[in-house]
Amino acid sequence: MKNMEKELLCPVCQEMYKQPLVLPCTHNVCQACAREVLGQQGYIGHGGDPSSEPTSPASTPSTRSPRLSRRTLPKPDRLDRLLKSGFGTYPGRKRGALHPQVIMFPCPACQGDVELGERGLAGLFRNLTLERVVERYRQSVSVGGAILCQLCKPPPLEATKGCTECRATFCNECFKLFHPWGTQKAQHEPTLPTLSFRPKGLMCPDHKEEVTHYCKTCQRLVCQLCRVRRTHSGHKITPVLSAYQALKDKLTKSLTYILGNQDTVQTQICELEEAVRHTEVSGQQAKEEVSQLVRGLGAVLEEKRASLLQAIEECQQERLARLSAQIQEHRSLLDGSGLVGYAQEVLKETDQPCFVQAAKQLHNRIARATEALQTFRPAASSSFRHCQLDVGREMKLLTELNFLRVPEAPVIDTQRTFAYDQIFLCWRLPPHSPPAWHYTVEFRRTDVPAQPGPTRWQRREEVRGTSALLENPDTGSVYVLRVRGCNKAGYGEYSEDVHLHTPPAPVLHFFLDGRWGASRERLAISKDQRAVRSVPGLPLLLAADRLLTGCHLSVDVVLGDVAVTQGRSYWACAVDPASYLVKVGVGLESKLQESFQGAPDVISPRYDPDSGHDSGAEDATVEASPPFAFLTIGMGKILLGSGASSNAGLTGRDGPAAGCTVPLPPRLGICLDYERGRVSFLDAVSFRGLLECPLDCSGPVCPAFCFIGGGAVQLQEPVGTKPERKVTIGGFAKLD
């Protein structure tokens, strides 16, 4: 108990709590400190209900000593009426105003503004439990020494009694003086002297009644009158005993866990202390590294400065030498000196051969000097503008010089991330994020039993680029994936988790084969044989023109080039929402080939596609699984029958009253269970089931797509490398 003083200090005055109040944010503050804080915020008259403060003989200076005269105090009833008449009002506000003032209190503990309501501190509860803990702590550590009488003339005597009604401590003489015989005060029961006088029970600040219930919605203690108020109508209110027992059990359980894991707490403390030491060492190392790098930059700049100054010095010396030579040449042209004086002496020569010999060379020099005078220009420029430096880019780099930041949390591209035969994860960095050298992809299954201890993730380290491929995922599972970047500064934050559902069965890879029941005039299969488009053509236009006289419409069918004979298989496709009528499903290969070797009459009453042969056999009562199972799609809707057999037919006419329609998802999934003879149609995005049908699996079964009118279907591309084309599965060959 001696080590918990920090928990008993008021965050405002940093002293032990005195009459603490519980703020709406569950923090505590002394009542006097709270009034002072509200006064500093400009709230006047909202420091709390004065009737709830200690009113004792010690609060009046004129009655601090029994030897001094006593004033006549107003009666308690009259005082209460006076206080309540002005309670909750302030200048400029009328009682019952439409917009009452809302008082905001700046909590010193959480640094947030909490709303106290219109009543201010008067609407808060006193924390009597905290007061009792503070008192027990004072007694255990003997804080403050002896308790003195509050009414004695200085020096006061040691208090021997206390009075809860008067909220004061007395010596024997003062107690007798303020509790005379024959008065109502004589019935006050003396208690041990204390510095904190508490009410006998926790009272409702609104109705001054004892609290008996706890509102779970407001998380506030309420009295009987509060329960019937409109403020708590429809709230979950329980007796205070139930709330007491529930909170006590939770607190006891949590405390028991903490006390039972003291070794773990001590281990974590050691780890934190080691982290503190490591932080100090790492911080010092970081300072030294930064200082060394800055010194290195300074050394480079100093070296560069010396080289630039040397270049300027060399250029300057060269120019000075050239200018000095030019000056000397011009000085030789002065009268009686240099070249001119020599020429004058040569002109005095009278021997003609000797003159010619000496004057020829002299004439060349005089000619050059004459030309220099006529075209005078300094031999070197005096400007050094070519030596100016442009340090704008370098200054910007130095100004922006900062610590290298780790990459920000990547953003998962949900439009390109999906799970099919493999899981493809794609992401990007935020616009202003530092670059990442590589990434770490983590993933795990969420549908496996949790193991004790921390959650274990599978990792793929040093992923280059912004996408990753996870091979061989488990079927029918839910994977959660996340990614984070890394550079020289370290690892960044993780991205948000993305959950992906894997297909319920192994993915079946196949291509489209239009040799059976397909008209080349109306069907166009792509070169990669993974997409097909149907064009209505002339027969449909003639049918529309002769609707009342009857017509013949052909059903165009495209089959997959792979037949399934065992196990479970899954594939997905996308249907163009503008398609007129498309049926997606599976069927017995032999029945499909028999049905579509010739164009059937769709409107003929003798054709019943539900049975796969002429409708004259409908008299048979033997119930067998249909050879086809199709999902009907048209104009962006899916028709769901009332039962599995309603969509079992190829071109059956389902009545509107027998089924309903649902919106067409972006992709449809088909799951075939060969052994059970069942086929399921799913939303390939959310893997929500749409329809489940029985299927005759007495022979090879292959995917099929039927078109009536215009439409288009695109098979979902495999995530990994495209497999080689296969014609058989399980040893059964597909007929050519």
**Domain CATH code at residue 493:** 2.60.40.10
Q: What is the CATH number of the domain that holds 541?
A: 2.60.120.920
Quote the pLDDT of residue 55. Answer: 47
User: Distance between CA atoms of 75 and 28, rounded to whole angstroms?
Assistant: 33
Residue 12 in contact with residue 30, Cβ under 8 Å? Answer: yes
Q: Are both 557 and 680 inside the same structural domain? A: yes
Residue spans of beta strands (DSSP E) within 464-580: 467-470, 478-487, 490-491, 498-501, 512-513, 523-525, 531-534, 556-560, 568-575
Quote the pLDDT of residue 166. Answer: 80
At residue 559, what are phi and psi to the nearest 5 degrees? -105, 160
Q: Are both 564 and 676 inside the same structural domain? A: yes
What the block records as the tokens of 526 is: 């792509």
User: Distance between CA atoms of 223 and 695, rounded to whole angstroms?
Assistant: 67
Q: What is the DSSP string of 415-477?
A: TT-EESSSEEEEEE--TTPPP-SEEEEEEEESSSPPPSSSPP-EEEEEE-SSEEEE-SPPTT-
Mean pLDDT, to the nearest integer, of 555-575? 90
Residue 684 in contact with residue 667, Cβ under 8 Å? Answer: yes
Mean pLDDT, to the nearest integer, of 237-248? 86
Using alpha carbons, select from 58, 55, 36 the residue that is nearest to residue 47.
Answer: 36
Q: Are both 363 and 415 inside the same structural domain? A: no
- Chain segment 100-124, per-residue pLDDT in tens: 567 788 888 888 788 877 677 777 8
Q: How many CA atoms lie within 13 A of 127 on its CB side?
A: 20
Mean pLDDT, to the nearest integer, of 643-663? 50
Token pair 């023109």 is found at 545
More confident residue, 44 or 655: 44
Q: Are both 530 and 631 inside the same structural domain? A: yes
What the block records as the tokens of 503 is: 């297909």
Domain limit, last residue, from 319, 350, 375: 375
491 — pLDDT class (breaks 50, 70, 90): very high
pLDDT at 476 over 60: yes
Evaluate whether residue 311 is within a structural domain. yes
Q: Are both 309 and 429 inside the same structural domain? A: no
Q: Are both 708 and 674 inside the same structural domain? A: yes
| Exposed / middle / buried, residue 251 (Cβ in 10 Å: 0-12, 13-18, 19+) | exposed
Token pair 């930041």 is found at 405
User: Distance between CA atoms of 596 and 583, rounded to whole angstroms?
Assistant: 15
Q: Are both 318 and 440 inside the same structural domain? A: no
Mean pLDDT, to the nearest integer, of 117-136? 77
Q: Are both 493 and 576 inside the same structural domain? A: no
Evaluate whether residue 456 is within a structural domain. yes
Q: Are both 495 and 561 inside the same structural domain? A: no
| Non-local CB neighbours of 513 within 8 Å, separated by 6+ positions | 529, 558, 559, 560, 561
Out of 20-29, 359-368, 550-559, least confident range? 550-559
Q: Are both 313 and 446 inside the same structural domain? A: no
Q: With the C-alpha atoms ordered 538, 543, 546, 552, is the resulting torsion angle positive or negative?
A: positive
Q: With the C-alpha atoms ordered 423, 428, 434, 436, is the resulting torsion angle positive or negative?
A: positive
Using alpha carbons, select from 564, 694, 568 the residue that is nearest to residue 626.
Answer: 694
Q: What is the CATH number of the domain that holds 33?
A: 3.30.40.10
Residue 703 in contact with residue 587, Cβ under 8 Å? Answer: no
User: Distance between CA atoms of 124 and 144, rounded to whole angstroms?
Assistant: 29
Mean pLDDT, to the nearest integer, of 259-282? 91
User: Distance between CA atoms of 616 and 611, rounded to whole angstroms?
Assistant: 10
- List residues bridging with 52 in a β-sheet: none
pLDDT at 147 over 70: yes
- Total number of domains in the chain: 4
Quote the pLDDT of residue 644. Answer: 41
Using alpha carbons, select from 536, 599, 543, 590 the residue that is nearest to residue 563.
Answer: 590
User: Distance between CA atoms of 508 and 222, rounded to whole angstroms?
Assistant: 65
Evaluate whether residue 296 is within a structural domain. yes
Domain limit, last residue, from 483, 502, 521: 502
User: Distance between CA atoms of 33 and 428, rounded to whole angstroms?
Assistant: 52
Evaluate whether residue 369 is within a structural domain. yes
The whole-angstrom distance between residue 234's C-alpha and the CA centroid of its chain comes to 34
More confident residue, 658 or 211: 211
Domain limit, last residue, from 145, 174, 205: 145
C-alpha Rg value of the chain to the nearest Å: 49
pLDDT at 383 over 80: yes
pLDDT at 88 over 50: no
Evaluate whether residue 64 is within a structural domain. no
What is the side-by-side strand order in the sheet with 213-215?
Answer: 220-222, 213-215, 237-239
Evaluate whether residue 278 is within a structural domain. yes
> What type of residue is 196?
S
Residue 671 in contact with residue 507, Cβ under 8 Å? Answer: no
In angstroms, the first-to-last Cα distance of the chain is 90
- Strands 581-588 and 531-534, by their bridges, are unpaired
Quote the pLDDT of residue 604. Answer: 38
Q: Helices 352-374 and 338-347, interaxial angle, to 10°?
A: 150
User: Distance between CA atoms of 506 and 421, rounded to whole angstroms?
Assistant: 7
- Chain segment 345-354, per-residue pLDDT in tens: 778 887 888 8
The whole-angstrom distance between residue 77's C-alpha and the CA centroid of its chain comes to 59
- Strands 701-708 and 125-126, by their bridges, are unpaired
> What type of residue is 291?
S
Q: Are both 445 and 487 inside the same structural domain? A: yes
Q: What is the mean pLDDT of the chain?
A: 77
> What type of residue is 332?
S
User: Distance between CA atoms of 410 and 482, rounded to whole angstroms?
Assistant: 9
What the block records as the tokens of 706 is: 């039927």
Evaluate whether residue 210 is within a structural domain. no
What the block records as the tokens of 251 is: 């607190």
pLDDT at 471 over 80: yes
Q: Are both 332 and 266 inside the same structural domain? A: yes
- Residues in the chain, total: 736
Evaluate whether residue 605 is within a structural domain. no
Residue 637 in contact with residue 687, Cβ under 8 Å? Answer: no
Question: How wide is the angle at C-alpha 680 spanned by C-alphas 728 and 661, nearest 5°?
Answer: 130
Query: Containing domain of residue 706, as a range?
Result: 512-597+626-641+660-715
> What type of residue is 281?
V
Quote the pLDDT of residue 57. Answer: 53
